[in-house]
Amino acid sequence: MDSDARVKMAVYRHFAETGYPPTPSEVAGRAGMSAADVLDAFPRLRDQRVLVLGEDGASIRMAPPFSGVPTQHVVHVGGIRYFANCAWDSLGIPVALGREAEIDSRCEQSGEPLHLHIGPGGPGPSPWLFHCLVPASQWWNDIVFT
């Protein structure tokens, strides 16, 4: 595994095991690398759209489907609370983990709470809808807004 892949896997495993974004030192510990080498890898992983970094270049804002900051899309799996970047990613977390989940979110217009149970076959029938404002070709122009 090359160094970038080691960093990527360390980031994702940390998110999966804790629900929180790792610091560069935590990534370094998991990957068996120096924190400086981890920080060198972060921009390359950002360019591959594997990570979205904070303004400091060291904090992890997103490792899709995981969010590094609290959001309105909360996913509970096996006693761990995760934050998803968006409605789509809230379903992506149980998929990535291969686990059943409880999703709590809301209707963006009315504020009505949404609860979805994700079983082995996914969610049951639901009348709720997903709406994406930004066309696919422009998602990464401003991925946080998207």
Partner 1 sequence: MLFFRSEERVREWCAAHDYPLRPLVTIEQLWNLSTTWYATRLQENSRRPQPNEMREIFAALGLVGEFWNPASDHFG
70 binds partner 1 (CB under 8 A): no
| Helix/strand/coil for 97 | helix
Task: Compute CA distances 10 → 32, 115, 124, whole Å.
Answer: 9, 30, 33
Beta bridge partners of 39: none
In the complex with partner 1, the residue whose CB is nearer, 83 or 89, is: 89
Q: Where are the beta strands (DSSP E) in 12-128?
A: 52-53, 60-63, 66-67, 74-77, 80-83, 101-106, 113-119, 122-123
Amino acid identity of residue 114, one-letter, is L
117 binds partner 1 (CB under 8 A): no
31 binds partner 1 (CB under 8 A): no
Q: How many residues bind partner 1 (CB under 8 A)?
A: 50
47 binds partner 1 (CB under 8 A): yes
5 binds partner 1 (CB under 8 A): yes
The footprint of partner 1 (CB under 8 A) covers: 1, 5, 9, 12-13, 16, 47-50, 64-65, 85-89, 91-93, 95-97, 105-110, 112, 114, 116, 122-123, 125-133, 135-140, 146
